[in-house]
Amino acid sequence: MSQLKLTYFDFHGGRAEPARLAMHIGNIAFEDYRFTYADIAEVRKSTPFGQVPTLHVDGVLITQSAAITRYVGKLAGLYPTDAYQALLCDEVMDVVEDANIKMGPTFGMTGDALKEARTALVKGPLKMYLSWLQSQLLAHGGMYFADNRLTIADLKVFAYIRGLNSGRLDHVPTDLVETVAPGLNAHMQRIAQTPAVAQYYASFGA
């Protein structure tokens, strides 16, 4: 087995959370290196693009969260082997990443600029992405997004919805998901109750 080291912020969420969960679910040993926001400038010096997460595989540095999540998803048996089901999985993951990219620029804003930008996102793109994700979930049976089983697509959506509901995003109502796409909240709660996922968060007291 390869030696794995995942580097990301010390909180439950964000772009590394699906990979963390996948490796836990798959009983894959890895070093879960977490750092504080105060340390980001120093961490960025060791990454090609100044971005995290990164994954070291036997000492080789890998960037890009989607690539990392797919890789560990394959190791954990949480990525479809059927080409079409893999396509459905990838589609959902990429849509969530598009939503993350829309939100990204607002993290450097404050005051009225932040409020205006986040309010515009809530009224437009976020509702669009949430509605589409719910429609895809329902179109594939209402339980999982692909392959009729738990995949990294579910973990990606789970982490995203959990973040929107958290209250950590100023000017994003905590009832947004419940109002726009309640099926995604039901999905999040179901994934949270998966024994391996529940055990993961319990181990942190979260």
Pairing mode, strands 4-9 and 31-35: parallel
Predicted local confidence at residue 205, as pLDDT = 83
Share the mean pLDDT of the chain: 96
Q: What is the pLDDT of residues 120-155, one digit of tens each?
A: 999 999 999 999 999 999 999 999 999 999 999 999
How far is it between the farthest Cα atoms of the chain? 50
Interhelix angle 182-192/152-165, rounded to 10 degrees, is 110
Write down all domains in the chain, each with its CATH number in brackets: 4-78 (3.40.30.10), 83-194 (1.20.1050.10)
Find out whether 165 and 185 touch, Cβ atoms under 8 Å: yes
Stretches where the chain sits below pLDDT 70 are 206
Residue 154 is predicted with a pLDDT of 98
Q: pTM surpassing 0.85?
A: yes
Nearest to 145 by CA among 196, 195, 190, 98: 190
Sheet holding 54-57, edge to edge: 31-35, 4-9, 54-57, 60-62
pLDDT of residue 206: 66
Number of helices (H) and strands (E) in the chain: give both, helices first: 10, 4
Kindly give the interhelix angle for 125-139 and 83-103, rounded to the nearest 10 degrees.
160
Q: What is the pLDDT of residue 1?
A: 74
- Which amino acid belongs to residue 154? D
